[in-house]
Amino acid sequence: MIYINLLIIFIFIVAIHEFGHYLAARYFGAKVTDFSIGFGKPMYQFIDKHETKWKICPIPLGGYVKIKGLDSIFQKNELVEKGSFHSLKLYQKIIILLAGSFFNIISAWLILFLFYFFIGIKSLSPEIGEIMKDSPAYNAGLEKGDIIISINNNKIFKFSDIPNAINNQDYLNIEILRNNSIIYKNLELVFDENLKRKIIGITSTSNIIIKKFNFLNSLNESLFFIPNYYYLSYTFLIQSFNDNTLTNQLAGPIGIVKMADQMMLDKLSGILFLFVIISLFVGLFNLFPIPLLDGGHILYFIISDIFSNSLPEFVTRFYIIIGITIISFLFLIVTFNDIFYK
């Protein structure tokens, strides 16, 4: 069941991405000849009133939108026909190429918003589970079962709020709930050499709380999640690069399946969250200026426009070869990692 759910997620993400390209192309008057989900001989197809052939194909490894003229970037201005991608202005081409990633990011945001508003977020309760002996919490008199309400006047709603509230401070004033009574404790943090950070010395319980959000809070949380996700991903990649472990962190299809299994993909929350994570990744990755990706196409058309669309054919072919090389190299790395590290 997990594999089926993962496949459905992937198909939806591809369809949303390609539909973004389709709508933008139609808006600017470019003729879309094909819209395909999957590759190979079509299992089902029909042609709409705009003469676009909609296809569902048996190999679910992606999809594509075929825009008139875009299948040949060697086309010169004098060969341009009405409705061709090459008949569009540069900004229109860029918007069409950006639209796929834009739809991925917007769909991820919409799912996040609905998730916050209707389902809520499951988190660990700020209740203390165990206390390390001789730790700051132990010495301050905190006890198992205490519920942390605030730290230095910062409200604590879930256990994961605690590290942010500590924020490398030296002294903490902790407000706790114990046997229906409010108690205040002061403690001094200590630096843990193994964890390389300051600690209180407590662990969580397994108690789960569900926090639902109103409309405005759902809007705020979902909008904040996206830049925060990209920022955390960026800092993680930089740290991995500095530690010389970057290539080991990349994952391919096998790694994604294993991650999906850990995320309880048989449950709605796991399905929605994985959809969000993969959508945000696909949206950003496609904008990288790598030939064959949308970002690579944008870079090519900008350079081509600077040279009045007169780039020599060998330059274009070399550009494509670079793209194939980079994509193939990345594929080999993630496949190697999936087999030997994941």
DSSP letter at 177 equals E
The residue type of 187 is L
Please tell me whether residues 60 and 147 are part of one structural domain.
Answer: no
Which ranges in the chain belong to alpha helices (H)? 2-27, 90-114, 136-140, 161-166, 215-242, 246-249, 253-262, 268-285, 294-306, 313-340
- Quick one: tokens of 182? 């409010």
Rounded to a whole number of angstroms, the distance between the first and last alpha carbons of the chain is: 21
The verdict on residue 230 lying in a domain is no
Within a domain: 249: no
Q: Which pLDDT band holds residue 14 (cuts at 50, 70, 90)?
A: very high
Domain closes at, from 181, 211, 241: 211
- Residues 242-259, buried b or exposed e (16+ Cβ, 10 A)? eeeeeeeebbbeebbbeb
Residues 168 and 60 in one domain: no
Tokens of 268: 């709605």
How many C-beta neighbours within 10 Å does residue 38 have? 18
pLDDT at 258: 54
Give strand pairing partners of 211: 121
Nearest to 116 by CA among 223, 256, 243: 223
In the chain, what percentage of residues exceed pLDDT 70? 84
The per-residue pLDDT for 128 is: 93
Residue 324 covered by a domain: yes
Q: In the block, which residue shows the tokens 């819209």?
A: 35
Residue 87 lies in a domain: yes
Taking residue 79's Cβ as centre, other Cβ atoms within 10 Å add up to: 11
| 94/141 same-domain check | no
Q: Bigger pLDDT: 162 or 46?
A: 46
Single residue among 211, 239, 264 that ends a domain in this structure = 211
Whether residue 230 is predicted with pLDDT greater than 50 in this model: the reply is yes
Q: Are residues 116 and 260 in the same domain?
A: yes
Question: Could you write out the DSSP letters of every residue in 47-97?
Answer: E-TT--EEEE-SEEEEEEEEETTTT-TT--GGG--TT-GGGS-HHHHHHHH
Domain count, the chain: 2
Q: What is the mean pLDDT of the chain?
A: 84
Rounded to an integer, what distance in angstroms lies between the CA atom of residue 69 and that of residue 181? 73
User: 261 and 197 in one domain?
Assistant: no
pLDDT band per the 50, 70, 90 thresholds, residue 20:
very high
The residues, any chain, with a CB within 8 Å of residue 298's CB and separated by 6 or more, are 93, 94, 97, 98, 287, 289
Q: Do 20 and 93 share a structural domain?
A: yes
Residue 194 CB contacts under 8 Å (≥ 6 apart), including other chains: none
Rg of the chain (C-alpha set): 26
Residue 162 lies in a domain: yes
Beta strands 53-56; 32-39: pairing state = parallel
**Residue 266 vs residue 150, higher pLDDT:** 150
Q: CA 140 to CA 263: how far, in whole Å?
A: 37
Q: How confident is the model at residue 78 (pLDDT cuts 50, 70, 90)?
A: very low
Same domain for 24 and 168: no
Write out pLDDT tens, residues 36-51.
Answer: 999 999 999 999 999 9
Per the domain annotation, does 238 fall within a domain?
Answer: no
Answer yes or no: do 91 and 68 share one domain.
Answer: yes
Task: Tell me which range, 62-71, 118-127, 136-145, 158-167, is most confidently predicted by mean pLDDT.
Answer: 136-145
Model confidence at 162: pLDDT above 70 = yes
Q: What's the mean pLDDT in 5-28?
A: 93
C-alpha of 247 from chain center: 19
Same domain, 153 and 103: no
Lowest mean pLDDT among 129-138, 160-169, 200-209, 331-340: 331-340
Q: How large is the greatest C-alpha to C-alpha distance in the chain, in angstroms?
A: 82
* Of 52 and 312, the one with more pLDDT: 52
Residue ending a domain, choose from 185, 211, 237: 211
Residues 262 and 323 occupy one common structural domain: yes
Q: What is the pTM of this model?
A: 0.75
What residues make up the domain containing 200?
122-211
In-domain check, residue 246: no
85 and 18 assigned to the same domain? yes
> CA quadruple 162, 165, 169, 173: dihedral positive or negative?
negative
**pLDDT > 80? residue 74:** no
pLDDT in tens, 53-62: 999 999 988 8
Contact present, 211 and 121 (Cβ < 8 Å):
yes
Half-sphere exposure of 173 (CA within 13 A, CB side): 5
pLDDT tens across 243-270, in order? 665 555 555 454 555 554 454 545 777 7
Share of the chain above pLDDT 90, in %: 44
> For 100-113, how does the pLDDT look when each residue is reduced to its tens digit (9 = 90+)?
999 999 999 999 99
CATH of the domain at 189: 2.30.42.10
Q: What average pLDDT does range 83-110 have in this prediction?
A: 94
Compute the CA torsion angle 336, 337, 340, 341 (nearest 10 deg): 170
User: Residue 269 falls within a domain, yes or no?
Assistant: yes
Read off the pLDDT band of 292 (50, 70, 90). Answer: confident
Shared domain for 71 and 113, answered yes or no, is yes
Q: Do residues 294 and 286 lie in contact, with contact meaning Cβ atoms separated by under 8 Å?
A: yes
